[in-house]
Chain A
Amino acid sequence: AQSVTQPDIHITVSEGASLELRCNYSYGATPYLFWYVQSPGQGLQLLLKYFSGDTLVQGIKGFEAEFKRSQSSFNLRKPSVHWSDAAEYFCAVGARQAGTALIFGKGTTLSVSS
């Protein structure tokens, strides 16, 4: 079955510290991978996506993610977290065929401590 697992429900990181949010997926074909961020009461903002090519993907706000096919993972990283990064982060996977659904993980809530 197709699924996305985000093992960490809630993570607290000190401001300035590095961050890694985990995402594992189960998908029948080579997937199309996304990370979205959602602030409370807001919509989904795309941080980055992987479609093909270089497995290390750079996104907005200083985020990056690495696609590791052998581990079925697409972990999100940031070298130095800012207080404004506190939000909920969703990993999603989709088919390369256009028009198909994205499957979302349950999300990881990031809190940033000062």
Chain B
Amino acid sequence: EPEVTQTPSHQVTQMGQEVILRCVPISNHLYFYWYRQILGQKVEFLVSFYNNEISEKSEIFDDQFSVERPDGSNFTLKIRSTKLEDSAMYFCASGLRFRGRDYGYTFGSGTRLTVV
């Protein structure tokens, strides 16, 4: 079964450093998403991406965050200057809707980001 792949599985970074979280969505999916889950809390939406642009973003997704689909297969989330409160599990997801039918909304296994 096709999977959404995220790398790395765990990243430790110093406060103020830039991090890039990488995702390889399912190949024929057209919609891409980032979510985060702070330890012990619910999963929160960050951003969705379609046709090479952001289609929706939450209040969490401020100027410190950016997303990119650099090469047609990868989908990245960049945090420019990490803060302690950015420590969380970050999930990538991809989905496909075609002619009003849904063909998946699949999550990756996540990247645990620890900011120290």
Contacts and interface: CB of A to CB of B under 8 A. Distances in A.
Interface in A91-114: 92, 94, 98-107
B45 A42 contact: no
Contact of B107 (A36, A100, A103, A106): A36
Contacts of B106: 46
Summarize B's interface: helix, strand, loop or mixed.
strand
A106 B91 CA distance: 16
Interface residues of B, number: 26
A43 B91 CA distance: 8
B102 A104 contact: no
17 contacts: A34-B105, A42-B109, A43-B109, A46-B106, A49-B102, A49-B105, A51-B102, A92-B43, A98-B30, A98-B50, A99-B55, A101-B48, A101-B56, A102-B35, A104-B42, A104-B44, A105-B42
